[in-house]
Amino acid sequence: MSLQEVLGTDRANAAAVWVVAAALLVAAVLQALAGEWLWTALALAAVGLTAVPALSYRDPRVTPPVWVPLLAAAPLVVRPYQPFAHLATYTSIAVLALMTAVNLNALTDVRFTPRVGVLVVVTTTMGLSGVWVMLVGLSDMLLGTNYVAGMAELNREFIASVLTGLVGGAVFERYFHHVEGGGLRGRSEDPVEA
């Protein structure tokens, strides 16, 4: 797999990605209107990380595979179904961490070995999840929401974030093993020209 396949220029994929991004923007607006600031931030982060490659290359066709923003959008869709809501949230955070790592590796001079890439995804997922849980707790305290029932649930949230980070890291490691040469190639291989 080459960088072109990661940040492809396929018109059908790009069109699907931008439809998902538009849906995420609509979801962000609806969440903001409902006063759901955490979910607004999650949706906007997914849109932003999805748009970075296109903005960087100044070509709207340069996008990640459509499954990436779809997974990032998952918690907004399954949120009403409580058994899946937490899993979807942390999966989304792991995908955001993966998108961050791929964007860093593909669009900057930063290069990751496979093990460092895994470490970046795991620690970024755990860090973002930790920030998410802290924001949820602060929202409960300051805004009177009732997202977390107590300390036991808060601890389960942290454990879930760590486990999701480890799974996200394993997925990223598997991804690295499928890339030629054991690592992502960077901006020197322009997906627009390839």
Average pLDDT, the chain: 77
Q: What total number of domains does the chain contain?
A: 1
Q: Evaluate if residue 26 carries a pLDDT over 90.
A: yes
Domain of 78 in residue numbering reads as 3-182
Q: Evaluate if residue 3 carries a pLDDT over 50.
A: no
Indicate whether 173 belongs to any domain: yes
**pLDDT of the residue at 131:** 81
**pLDDT of the residue at 177:** 64
Q: Evaluate if residue 39 carries a pLDDT over 60.
A: yes
**pLDDT of the residue at 84:** 65
Q: How confident is the model at residue 24 (pLDDT cuts 50, 70, 90)?
A: very high
Cβ neighbours of residue 21 closer than 8 Å, sequence gap 6 or more: 46, 47, 50, 51, 69
Indicate whether 113 belongs to any domain: yes
pLDDT in tens, 73-125: 888 877 766 666 667 777 778 888 888 877 887 788 877 776 777 788 788 88
**pLDDT of the residue at 188:** 43
Indicate whether 169 belongs to any domain: yes
Indicate whether 192 belongs to any domain: no
Indicate whether 59 belongs to any domain: yes
Residue pair 53/62 in contact by the 8 Å Cβ criterion: yes
Q: Please give the C-alpha separations between residue 57 and each of 54, 103, 110, 187, 193, in angstroms, as whole numbers.
A: 5, 12, 17, 10, 10
Indicate whether 26 belongs to any domain: yes
**pLDDT of the residue at 183:** 41
For the CA atoms of 186, 123, 173, 189, the dihedral, rounded to the nearest 10 degrees, stands at -10
Indicate whether 188 belongs to any domain: no
Residue length of the chain: 194
Indicate whether 132 belongs to any domain: yes
Cβ neighbours of residue 41 closer than 8 Å, sequence gap 6 or more: 135
Region 24-36 average pLDDT: 90
Share of the chain above pLDDT 70, in %: 78
